[in-house]
Amino acid sequence: MDAPRDEEMLDAAGGAPADVAPQQQAMRVDASVEAALNLLPSNTDSATSFSLYGLLNKAQSPMGKALLKAWIKRPLIDIDAIQQRHDVVEGLAEDAQLRADLRGLHLRGLPDLDKLTRKLEGGKTSLQELCQMYRASAKLPQLEEAVRAHEGAHSHLLATKFADPLAEAHAPERLGKFEELLEAAVDMARVPDEYVISPTYDSGLADIDTEKQEVEATLQECAEAAARDLGLVLDKTLKLDWHKAGNQRLRCLRITAKEEKAVRKQLQARYQELEVKKDGMKFINKGMKAAAQRLQQLSASYEARQAELLAQVVSVAGTFAPVWRAVSAALAELDVLASFAEVAASAPMPYTRPTMLPSEAGEIVLRGSRHPCLEVQEGVDFIPNDCVMKQGASWFNIITGPNMGGKSTFIRQVGLAVLMAQIGSFVPAEQARISVRDALFCRVGAGDCQLRGLSTFMAEMLETAEILKGATSSSLVIVDELGRGTSTWEGLGLAWAISEHLCTEIGCGTLFATHFHDLAALETALPGAGVANLHVKAAETATGLTMLYQVHKGASAQSFGLAVARFARLPPEVIEAAAKRMGELEPASAPGAAGAAAGGDGSGSGCVTGSGGSDAAARELLLKFAQLPLTPGMAPDQLAVALQQHAVELCQ
């Protein structure tokens, strides 16, 4: 059978790119978000489930794993596309048998069709790789049948989105022809030991192969004659072997050193010595040499013709690249969505399908929300918390409370829930209502900025500037501490001003975890702006501090700095000295405002008068603090003196 011409296969094209949203149609997720939420694996992870990718990656195929990573980096903002993914996940989550068949039979063991398709398009595919694609093609009908057998509420969607495209791709005029090409071109009897063009594929190759077989038979006869001549047993004491000399590789005879001594006279008289080693000798005679040289010539011609035919086969196979691209995209998407369904169904507590709302709805409500990565760690008994963010009521959340009390975990789990929902996954919560966000911003820690020569404070300011520049009213902003890299009062002033800008100028949903308890005054300073105070619970007893990891409404009633220090087992004398010094500094450094923010009566200073002080006065005082010409890095004594010097300004 001669090779079909390229044009005979040109009508096999058709397909679609992998399902990844273009950048302008995706939620903005930058490197700081990837690091803050631990979206992708890092070298420091001691378990795969420490990252969101590691947790969700139950994909069975290489292209599924790659697509999952792309989806995490580019969540959807099209609510219809998001809900369609949720429909598929819901269908697969409810059908354990289909999920098991897909993951255990049909998707497992597939080659990297993305990579192979790219090589196919570039004409760089090997015959072995084409055979891998052939085997993948042969699995498609069973996969299609399994998907069509689903009888759930979303059976029509599964059929139209996956079964129908795969059936179309595997039609006789498409991958049916691809399989025919490989079956005709490849010598399947020699697979997987060897991948070569079948002699029956080309008449010229068949002629060369026929003569090769004749010459090989002649060489066998020569070897048998030599065995009789030397009194040896072929394939035991005398063997057919190969001798390499320069570019030549000739058939020859080999004998052991022991047997060589016994027949040395006959060898010297009638045979040509080729090679002598400790373990034996290689030799040949005139008749055998002529046949061996002819076999070498035929082998070279055979390999040259094989190369020509392989190029033709690869060229023809390349016309199927668009079909394979579509198949790879469909299989990868099905693999990822089956992975989402598996994670949702096998979580310690069931995931829920989020109700998606348009961005203008301005609502993120999570009941019984959990951190997806933390809850699966060994020995962790995770405590769920609610998150209620609504425009005009609780759109800007300030979270206070002790270190290690769960503030950071809480704000991160909300960010993860939103991102998971928008990539098409269910979320770790009892109930979820999420309005689509166009961007996710995180200001968490200094990262590796210090390694690049940036101070902690400069890193904070650069990341914050990026947020202020890029955030919109449809964004979600997560801030885990701000203003720690400079003096207390500069930090508080900046935190206040930035919070006010995010709240009133941009209007983005925000979760702001802070150690500045005074920032809680924003709730009353900006009435109607949607500021809400939350705090993490802790129980302080005579024996220490117990973290409750519960998020409640309202600002934290006290600072737990000394209690956390005791919890960390600092020396008692250090804690005692700190308490004494704090008592000396507090009246001078926190006139009125600190007491008001913590729920006191504000009578610690004459700056805010009256029963409890007014909210407006507290806000005005904080703004004045932000404007004081205080030098960063002041010692406590210097700070106290400076505040005394500016006391008149503060109290005016």
3-state secondary structure of 272: strand
Q: According to DSSP H, which parts of 503-612 are helical?
A: 522-525, 561-567, 572-589, 593-597
**In this structure, is residue 38 part of a structural domain?**
no
476 three-state secondary structure: strand
Note whether 115 and 142 are same-domain residues.
yes
The stretch 578-588 carries a mean pLDDT of: 71
Do residues 544 and 396 both lie within one domain?
yes
| One domain for residues 524 and 375 | yes
Residue 15 — very low, low, confident or very high, per pLDDT cuts 50/70/90?
A: very low
Looking at the structure, tell me whether residues 169 and 127 fall in a common domain. yes
Domain assignment of residue 520, yes or no: yes
| 552 and 593 fall within a common domain | no
Pick the closest to residue 252 from 238, 236, 266 (CA basis): 238
Six-digit token pair at 360? 């203008």
pLDDT number for residue 587: 56
Cβ 138 vs Cβ 179: under 8 Å: yes
Residue 523 maps to a domain: yes
Tell me if 181 is assigned to some domain.
Answer: no
Mean pLDDT of 266-280: 91
What is this structure's pTM? 0.81
Same domain, 167 and 235: no
Q: Which domain holds residue 72?
A: 6-19+54-174+320-346
> Has residue 183 been placed in a domain?
no
The total domain count for the chain is 4
Q: Where are the alpha helices (DSSP H) in 95-202?
A: 96-101, 113-121, 127-148, 155-158, 164-169, 175-185
The β-bridge relationship of strands 396-400 and 509-513 is: parallel
Residue ending a domain, among 569, 603, 631, is 569
Percent of the chain predicted with pLDDT > 70: 84
Tokens of 429: 């919560």
Residues 481 and 594 in one domain: no
Distance CA 285, CA 143 (A): 59
> Nearest-5° angle of CA 386, CA 392, CA 398?
50
Q: What angle do CA 172, 178, 183 make, to 5 degrees?
A: 105
Tokens of 285: 């005679």
Given a contact cutoff of 8 angstroms between Cβ atoms, the answer to whether 57 and 65 are in contact is yes
**Residue 314 within a domain:** no
- Which domain CATH number covers 523? 3.40.50.300
64 lies in some domain: yes
Average pLDDT over every residue of 383-404: 94
461 shares a domain with 542? yes
State residue 294 phi and psi, 5-degree precision: -65, -40
pLDDT band at 150 (very low <50, low <70, confident <90, very high): very high
Supply the mean pLDDT for the chain.
Answer: 86
Residues 603 and 580 in one domain: yes
Cis peptide leading into residue 322 (ω within 30°): no
pLDDT in tens, 509-558: 999 999 888 999 999 999 989 999 999 988 877 667 778 889 999 998 76
Helix (H/G/I), strand (E/B), else coil: 311: helix
Collapsing DSSP states into helix, strand and coil, what is residue 73?
helix
Quick one: pLDDT at residue 638? 52
**Percentage of the chain exceeding pLDDT 90:** 66
CATH number, domain with residue 110: 1.10.1420.10
- Whether 377 and 507 map to the same domain: the answer is yes
Contact assessment for residue 103 and residue 60, using Cβ atoms and an 8 Å cutoff: yes
